[in-house]
Amino acid sequence: MNNKTSMANRKRNVKRFVSLMVVLTIVMCYVAIGYCTSDTPTLDIEFDTAQMFAWAQTIITAMMPVLYIIMGVGLGFIVIRAFKSAFS
């Protein structure tokens, strides 16, 4: 048997082993779930839209000065470019 054939057989064996381990893990998980007698814990998420919009308004209000500064710097560059092109 040459090297390529033994390498292909080795890869095939590894794939079989990995697939067998995946199947065994899934089966063990189902068995473990079957032994659970209590209720399954759930995650209850309640969305209060009024509170979400109030929080968003707070964030927007807090970020407006940053927006004003960035707009002022941008407008300054536009004005400077306009004066530069007007007097050149």
Three-state DSSP at 46 gives coil
Structural domain count of the chain: 2
Kindly tell me the burial class for residue 57, based on how many C-beta atoms sit within 10 Å of its own C-beta (0-12, 13-18, 19 or more).
exposed
Q: How far apart are CA 88 and CA 84, in angstroms?
A: 6
Confidence of residue 1 (pLDDT cuts 50, 70, 90): low
Q: Tell me: do 54 and 77 sit in the same domain.
A: yes
For residue 20, tell me if it sits in a domain: yes
Instruction: Give the model confidence (pLDDT) of 31-74 as tens digits.
Output: 766 666 666 667 778 888 888 899 999 999 999 999 999 999 99
Q: What is the DSSP string of 17-47?
A: HHHHHHHHHHHHHHHHHHT--SPPP------
For residue 69, tell me if it sits in a domain: yes
The tokens for 23 are 């199947």
| Domain around 27 | 1-37
Q: What pLDDT was estimated at residue 26? A: 86
For residue 15, tell me if it sits in a domain: yes
For residue 43, tell me if it sits in a domain: no
Q: What pLDDT was estimated at residue 62? A: 94
Instruction: Give the model confidence (pLDDT) of 12-22 as tens digits.
Output: 888 899 999 99
